[in-house]
Amino acid sequence: MQDALDELVSLLDLEELELNLFRGRSPQEERQRVFGGQVAGQALVAAGRTVEARDVHSLHSYFLRPGDPQVPIIYQVDRLRDGRSFSTRRVTAIQHGQAIFALAASFQIGEGSVEHQAPMPEAVPPESLPDWNERFAAMEAKGETLDDWMHWGRALDMRYVDETDYTGAQRQDPFWRVWVRTNGKLPDDSLLHRCVATYASDMTILDTALRPHLLVMDDDMQVASLDHAMWFHRPFRADEWLLYAHESPSMSNARGFATARFFDRDGRLVISVAQEGLLRTRG
Cβ atoms of 273 and 259 within 8 Å: the answer is yes
For 184: left if phi > 0, alpha if psi spans -120 to 50, otherwise beta; the answer is: left
- In DSSP notation, 145-195 reads ---GGGGTTTTEEEEESS---SSS-S---SEEEEEEEESS---S-HHHHHH
Strand order in the sheet with 55-63: 15-18, 21-24, 73-82, 86-95, 98-108, 55-63, 221-232, 269-281, 255-264, 242-252, 175-182, 156-160
Q: Is 266 a catalytic residue?
A: no
- Give the span between the Cα atoms of 249 and 257, in whole angstroms: 7
The greatest distance separating any two alpha carbons of the chain, rounded to the nearest whole angstrom, comes to 59
- Give the span between the Cα atoms of 252 and 258, in whole angstroms: 12
Catalytic residue among 61, 201, 202, 239: 202
Q: Is 106 a catalytic residue?
A: no
Catalytic residue among 26, 38, 201, 275: 275
Catalytic residue among 61, 225, 248, 264: 225
Q: Other C-beta atoms within 10 Å of 110: how many?
A: 9
Cβ atoms of 91 and 77 within 8 Å: the answer is yes
Q: Is 87 a catalytic residue?
A: no
Cβ atoms of 39 and 12 within 8 Å: the answer is no
> Would you please indicate which residues are annotated as catalytic (active-site) residues?
202, 225, 275
